[in-house]
Amino acid sequence: MSTVLDSIVAGVLEDVKEREIPLAQLRAQLDSSPPIRDAYAALALPGMQLIAEVKRSSPSKGVLAAIGDPAALAHQYELAGAAVISVLTEGRRFAGSPADLQAVRERVKIPVLRKDFIVTEYQVVESRVLGADLILLIVAALTDAQLRDYQALAHDLGMSVLVEVHDHEELERAIAMSARAIGVNARNLKTLEINEKAFTDLLPLIPNDRIKVAESGIALREQVVAAELLGAKVILVGETLVRAGDPALAIKTLLGR
């Protein structure tokens, strides 16, 4: 039976095919890509760190915010203390675009995560050409060979990698591939349901030498404290920030600053 994730990936593959150029031509553009910023180092800074997301829409909630100037919003995030900016570049379900990432990367001085469904080698190289410092690899969408190959390619290109899991089996696969940063997404992308126990069940099982990230469903300071007690070093927040009247205040409140 087809899942929501299957549908999203099918659309992503169609969109990649429409904009694809020969890989050799794409690689030739790497020489003019922006200098890399070390996202692993940014996420490992002392204290709880935050990945702040530029996100217009989602499959589960529909339209979240009309973000006319993603770079301006990202700049607010940066000034408020975000460690990394996440930019949705998937267009069909999240109303994002590669241009959003490029605009944000030009405006901020901190690392930028390309938040998309990376399912081809082409997208990994494309991410660096666009200026991404960090990419997301979703275990549920990839084979073990793809996870290893895409992570190795990203590292070769200088990028960091956030590996996303939703259950115990996926976590075991992420640990086995020696992922340095592992994100537990409380939202199951196959069903779009929130698993309120995901953080409790999975965060303590991630080895302490990895960067542990809590993703989705975080809206309150007490949720951040709870995630930190479970071992999280980083939170990734989108909906709460884009719907906040004052995103800078929302960041400071979540981080207890």
In whole angstroms, what is the distance from residue 23 CA to residue 147 CA? 19
**DSSP summary character for residue 205:** G
Catalytic residue among 126, 164, 228, 239: 164
Catalytic residue among 57, 58, 86, 185: 185
Catalytic residue among 78, 126, 170, 215: 215
Q: Is-catalytic flag, 185?
A: yes
Q: Is-catalytic flag, 55?
A: yes
Catalytic residue among 57, 78, 90, 115: 115
Catalytic residue among 55, 78, 127, 188: 55
Catalytic residue among 53, 78, 228, 239: 53
Q: Is-catalytic flag, 216?
A: yes
Whether the CB-CB separation of 233 and 203 falls below 8 Å is answered with no
- Cβ-Cβ contacts under 8 Å for 221 (sequence gap 6 or more): 253, 254, 256
Catalytic residue among 216, 228, 233, 239: 216
Q: Is-catalytic flag, 121?
A: no
Tokens (6 digits) for 52: 């702040």
Q: Is-catalytic flag, 215?
A: yes
Dmax over Cα atoms in the chain, in whole Å? Answer: 49
In whole angstroms, what is the distance from residue 43 CA to residue 204 CA? 18
Place of tokens 């217009």: 56
Exposed / middle / buried, residue 97 (Cβ in 10 Å: 0-12, 13-18, 19+) = middle
Q: Is-catalytic flag, 115?
A: yes
Label residue 63 left, alpha or beta by phi (over 0 means left) and psi (-120 to 50 means alpha): beta
Instruction: Name the residue type at position 257.
Output: R
**What φ, ψ does residue 243 adopt, rounded to 5°?**
-95, -10
Q: Which residues are catalytic?
A: 53, 55, 115, 164, 185, 215-216
